[in-house]
Amino acid sequence: MTTTTADRAEFVADSRVPGKGSREGRGVATTAHVALILWSLLVILPLVWTVLSSFKSTQEVLGNPLSLPGKLRFSNYAHAWTTAGIGRYFTNTVIVVGCALVLVMILGAMCAYVLARFTFRGNRLIYYSMLAGLTFPVFLAIVPLFFVLKNLSLLNTLPGLIITYVAFALPFTVFFLHSFFKALPGEIYEAAQIDGAGEWRTFFSVMLPMARPGMASVAIFNFLGLWNQFLLPVALNTDSRNYVLSQGMASFASQAGYAVDFGALFAAVVITVAPVLVVYIIFQRQLQVSVTAGGVK
């Protein structure tokens, strides 16, 4: 970009001897591998240590952190799942994230479709206020939101959490799908109309199936975002029976801080991470593609 013609001429004069370059190239490749392996180790080692520790007894955890577990104590997992309530939090999370995901995908697709393909007064205003909803920090809204839910008697309930998740995931979903619906050719809409399909039918039988690739990407994003959600449940869902995984983990860890059961704590971490990690490894190609498609925009 910044290279001028003069620079370029200078470089041509300086061009390397062939052969020398290939050895240099191999050197670079080796260095690159070493650096990347180091980084990979930095990522993997804490995870491996967590898995190993999840099989240890509390004495072993408090003893030598580098030692291997004496035997595989699956009882830690049983303890985490039942006594520490991770099983219950897991179920809650699956319910909340599952419902919120389905709802936000339907509502988001409908809203994006209308905003992208119909002209009416206020269209732009709605679209831009949704964009603004993306940029404002949730923290600004959290206190009034608490009272909105309280007044609707939705505070500390799973439906309350679901609808809040949906509302805050909506702007991103609409923003992302807007371009997908915009890109669909207008002839298809007209063909559907001529064939006698109403607006509802046109959307569900024609338009929605065509936006499938976009829907898949957004669904992945939303799933990870909702599974990861921490602030909303911590502020709006304080009944411990309704805890989702992330807040259950936090409260379990703060109890474990007083030396309760370290093996179970590590087991709880593994239970939380493992399902998503396994799904990621299976679908990593698609996931990376959709993350790239979404992020570059």
Partner 1 sequence: MTPEVVPDGGPQRSAVRRRRPLTFDRISFMVVFLGLPLAVFVIFVVSPFVQALWYSLTDWSGFSSKMNFVGFDNYVRLFHDDIFLKAVRNNVELAVVVPIVTIVLALTLATLVTIGGSGTGTVRGLRNSGFYRIVSFFPYVIPAIVIGLIWAQVFTPSTGILDALLSKVGLKGFADYAWLGDARTAMPASMFVMIWGFVGFYMVLFIAAIRGIDPEVFEAARIDGAGRFRTAVSLTLPLIRDNVQTAYVYLGIAALDAFVYMQALNPGGGPQNSTLVMPQQLFTTAFAKGQFGYSTAMGVILAAVTMLFALLVFSVNWLTGGRDRKVRR
**Is residue 213 a contact residue for partner 1 (CB under 8 A)?**
no
Q: Which is nearer to partner 1, 31 or 240 (CB)?
A: 31
* Piece in contact with partner 1 (CB under 8 A), picked from 42-50, 74-82, 94-102, 209-217: 42-50
Q: Alpha-carbon dihedral of residues 104, 110, 114, 117, nearest 10 degrees? A: 110
- In sign, the C-alpha dihedral spanning 166, 171, 177, 181 is positive
- Is 269 exposed, middle or buried (CB count within 10 Å of its CB: 0-12, 13-18, 19+)? buried
* Piece in contact with partner 1 (CB under 8 A), picked from 75-83, 84-92, 102-110, 208-216: 102-110
H or E element that contains 272? helix 262-296
Among 101, 246, 261, 267, binds partner 1 (CB under 8 A): 246
Q: Which is nearer to partner 1, 82 or 179 (CB)?
A: 179
* Piece in contact with partner 1 (CB under 8 A), picked from 75-83, 84-92, 94-102, 258-266: 258-266
Q: Which is nearer to partner 1, 88 or 224 (CB)?
A: 224
Task: Report the distance separating Cα 192 and Cα 205, nearest Å.
Answer: 9
Contacts of residue 241, Cβ cutoff 8 Å, sequence gap at least 6: 88
**Is residue 124 a contact residue for partner 1 (CB under 8 A)?**
no
Using CB under 8 A as the binding criterion, the count of chain residues that bind partner 1 stands at: 117
Residue numbers 1-30 binding partner 1 by CB under 8 A? 1-3, 8, 11-12, 14-16, 18, 21-22, 25-26, 28-29
Residue numbers 214-233 binding partner 1 by CB under 8 A? 224, 227-228, 230-231
Single-letter code of the amino acid located at 246: S
Are 157 and 233 contacting, i.e. CB atoms less than 8 angstroms apart? no
**Is residue 192 a contact residue for partner 1 (CB under 8 A)?**
no
Residue numbers 274-293 binding partner 1 by CB under 8 A? 276-277, 280-281, 284, 288, 291-292
Task: Report the distance separating Cα 43 and Cα 66, nearest Å.
Answer: 17
State phi, psi for 259 to the nearest 5 degrees.
Answer: 55, 65
* Piece in contact with partner 1 (CB under 8 A), picked from 76-84, 94-102, 121-129, 208-216: 121-129
**Is residue 92 a contact residue for partner 1 (CB under 8 A)?**
no
Q: What token pair was written down for 214?
A: 């976009």
Are 58 and 75 contacting, i.e. CB atoms less than 8 angstroms apart? no
Residue numbers 144-163 binding partner 1 by CB under 8 A? 144-148, 163
**Is residue 44 a contact residue for partner 1 (CB under 8 A)?**
yes
Residues in contact with partner 1, shown as a per-residue x/- string from 47 to 76 under the rule CB under 8 A: x-xx--x-------xx-xxx----------
Among 4, 6, 125, 135, binds partner 1 (CB under 8 A): 135
**Alpha carbon 8 to chain centroid distance?**
45
Task: Report the distance separating Cα 248 and Cα 244, nearest Å.
Answer: 6
Q: Which residue has the tokens 């004496």?
A: 70
**Is residue 128 a contact residue for partner 1 (CB under 8 A)?**
no
Task: Report the distance separating Cα 131 and Cα 115, nearest Å.
Answer: 13
